[in-house]
Structure 1
Amino acid sequence: MSSDPLHDRPGLSRLRAVAGHDLALLVATGGVCLVGALLVWSATHRTAGTAYLVRHLLNTAIGFALAMAVTRIGRQRLRFAGPFVYAAGLAGLVAVLTPLGATINGSRSWIPLAAGFTLQPSEFAKVGIVLALAGLFADRLDRRLPPSSRDLVLAWVLVLVPVGLVMLQPDLGSAIVLIALAFVLIAVAGAPWPWVVGVVGLGVGGVVAVLRSGVLSGYQQDRLLVFLDPERDPLGAGYQLAQVRLAIGSGGWWGEGFMQGRQTQGGFVPYQLNDFIFSTAAEELGFVGTVGLLGLLGFVVLRILLVGVRSRDGFGRFIGAGVGAWFAVQIFQNVGMNLGLMPVTGLPLPFVSYGGSSMFAAWLGVGLVNAAYVARSRDPHLT
């Protein structure tokens, strides 16, 4: 019996393998990373040449490789690996509080590695929580049953433990993302409304408790208080926000041109390559350019949510909802703090801000979504 030569061609097989991925999501995410690389280069070239540009592109390449590796693992093995990924995230959050951790800007959130690189465990804890809650709720959703009280209590525990460890650093921004994840996933699971409202109450109560407890460093408190009183600390946190607003306001409709922004090129905006990278886009690309960037980020989020909605199994739906909520909250928070609409919490703009841990974790999230997409396209029982 002879085989079909068309099916034996290696190139055709590779093409089919590539076509099975969510190319729209992968291309759009890569496009955001490329825009981020250019913005990081503009914000740093005057002092570091192309060093940060090369690192950002390298982080992007490594992140994409991680996403492809996660996709190859497959949906079923990811479900099995979920508890181990969650446990590894907890181990990292504990390790950062030991002598292995390092304090930067009042937060003990990083573990120094070789060659000047650092690891931020709170970024990877987001991946662990998405996998853990997806694995917890998926079976009952597949059977169209609401989560049991036991499942909901366990979900609370799974979220509260890493949130507590993150707040010990302290890292208010990451804690907000983790609570937002819990809110969305518990709601998607079909929990009774008191449980959903309880997540919101927990988040609000936790934030208030943290602000009153003195856990935050003086630097972090100043960043939050300046949101309420822009004239506070004019030489510190107030100066940061004033320069950011000046940069954004000077961009106008079309911007001052790539590498032509006066605030950006003058080095007046602190932490512009990560926390305030959006101000570089606003100043040099203008309103039109930032709308384009936000449109691209919005497409990534909507595509992720669409993959979740179209998934025929509960695990895929929770992956899409969790990763989509994670990215949406960070985008809203980062852009909001640049515009003065939200307090400054230090959350990066996904795929745009410079930072290895945030880039790797975000691509891992894309890999989870892509794995759900591939599973649906290849498994006849899920189509």
Structure 2
Amino acid sequence: MSVREVYTSTASNPLGRPRGFWSALHLDPVLLILLTALIIGGLFVLYSGADRNFDVVKAQAIRFGIAFVVMLVFAQLDPSVFRRWAPWLYAAGLAGLVAVLLVGVGAKGAQRWLALPGLPRFQPSELMKLVVPMMAAWYLSRHFLPPRLPRIGMSLIVVLLPMALIAVQPDLGTALLVGMAGLFVVFFAGMSWRLISAFAVMISVAAPVLWFFGMRDYQKQRVLTLLDPQSDPLGAGWNIIQSKTAIGSGGFEGKGWLQGTQSHLEFLPESHTDFIVAVLAEEFGFIGMLVLLSIYLLIILRCLFIAVVAQDSFSRLIAGALTMTFFIYVFVNIGMVSGLLPVVGVPLPLISYGGTSTVTLMAAFGILMSVHTHRRMISA
């Protein structure tokens, strides 16, 4: 066998084994099994949360089918493709966010959607959950790591610009998710703890200014409601009070599937979207929540493993950032529903009813699988 043939063989199959089914599809079977278990379980909870409306479950299953196709397509692409296209996607995303402010479609007091002729209505901000960490990883991976202060400053501009455009829509929840996704890239690139402490102090000093000049009245009300839900039990505090009641009433084993009273008697608002975890806790109790959190933990650990074994800086940064963004989804939603965080409208990943966020998350997992299955052996 020639040197060229040996190199080609090891490049396409670094472990020297016959190419298997999962390798041919560029899918990670461990991650795929965990995601499938989460989605199937989520559909059962959704059926109860939607008050036994099978049409809602059917629509969500169709969305999951589309999301799986998107994940499969993203998994086929080499990470170098994402690196090469990152600046162009970032520019397109910024143009979309500006277009939303100028000609966007409004609903419920927010202007977040674009309706282009011949295309379904979509949110450019969802695209930025993937593009912002991709762009930050592209920029930082082109230079020596850990980055120096000027590089960190430029990276923060890359992150904060789309974050600000999303916040003025207004969509504070999505803006925070986009910002965290980008900041995780900067953190994983090797940002020193001294700088992290300095930024934390700056944020603390700027918090009063943000409260008086940067936050809208309904956003302030969410924070005040978090601190004292009983101040307005029939108004702003209703959601948190009913959610905590549902979670507490589930006990250790829960009331049983389809037996929850808070959701089926319509005490619990948004029971099939943002507050669906309260439905799960009421019907399956502590055991059900433990199973859910265990699956989430295994998914996060598997994704972190993929990030650790990635063989170039761009892949490590984007994989780590997307993994921690998924963690933030879980942490914020469960914290919000249990009354530990303000209500910001973040769905429970792959459980809550919704299409755009589901496709975005599965696209992120497609990128992670791409990073893991396109590794090459580094010769000595």
TM-score (norm 2): 0.87
Q: How does 1:11-160 map to 2 (within 5 A)?
A: 15=21, 17-18=23-24, 20-46=26-52, 49-104=53-108, 106-111=109-114, 118-140=121-143, 145-160=145-160
Letter in 2 for 1:156: L
State whether residues 185 and 318 of structure 2, in contact with CA within 8 Å, keep that contact through their aligned partners in structure 1: no
Within 2, Cα distance between the matches of 1:268 and 1:112?
A: 34
The CA RMSD measured in Å over matched residues stands at 2.5
Deviations 1:250-300 (A, max 9, x none): 111111111110111112111121111110110111110011011111111
Unaligned runs of 5+ in 2: 1-17
Q: How many residues align?
A: 363
- The 1:328–1:236 alpha-carbon spacing in structure 2 relative to 1, beyond 3 Å, is same
Cα shift at 1:360? 0.9
- Do 1:186 and 1:196's aligned partners in 2 also have CA atoms closer than 8 Å? no
Q: Quickly say closer, same or farther: Cα 1:60–1:113, change in 2 above 3 A.
A: farther
Measured in 2, the distance between the counterparts of 1:43 and 1:363 equals 22
Q: Which residue of 2 aligns with 1:212?
A: 212
Aligned runs of 1:1-383 on 2, under 5 Å?
A: 15=21, 17-18=23-24, 20-46=26-52, 49-104=53-108, 106-111=109-114, 118-140=121-143, 145-201=145-201, 204=204, 208-213=208-213, 215-218=215-218, 220-376=219-375, 379-381=376-378
Q: Is the 8 A contact 1:183 1:199 kept in 2?
A: no
In the alignment, the residues of structure 2 paired with residue 23 and residue 184 of structure 1 have an alpha-carbon distance, to the nearest angstrom, of 26
Aligned partners of 2:26 and 2:76 also within 8 Å? no
* Residues 70, 363 of structure 2: 8 Å contact kept: yes
Distance in 2 of aligned mates of 1:30 and 1:206: 43
Mapped to 2, the partners of 1:173 and 1:94 lie a distance apart of: 18
TM-score, structure 1 normalization = 0.87
Go from structure 1 to structure 2 and tell me whether the alpha carbon gap of 1:360 and 1:292 turns closer, same or farther (over 3 Å shift).
Answer: same
Identical amino acids, percent of aligned pairs: 31
Query: Residue type matched to 2:112 in 1?
Result: S
Give how far 1:113 is off.
Answer: 7.7
Quick one: structure 1 residues 210 and 92, their matched pair in 2 at CA, closer, same or farther if it must change by over 3 Å? farther
Between 155-164 and 264-273, report the one with greater CA deviation. Answer: 264-273
Which amino acid is 1:316 matched to?
S
**Residues 185 and 321 of structure 2 are in contact (CA less than 8 Å); yes or no, is this contact kept in structure 1?**
yes
Amino acid at match of 2:55: A
Is the partner of 2:143 in helix, strand or coil? helix
Q: Deviations over 1:314-333 (max 9, x none)?
A: 11211221011111111111
* 1:121-157 Cα deviation digits (max 9, x unpaired): 322211011111111122435xxx3213442222111
Look up the SS of the partner of 1:147 in the other structure: coil
Change (3 A) 1:60 1:246: same
Note the C-alpha offset of 1:18: 4.5
Secondary structure of the corresponding residue to residue 381 of structure 1: coil
Cross-structure match for 2:7: none
> What is the CA-CA distance between 1:177 and the residue it aligns to?
2.2
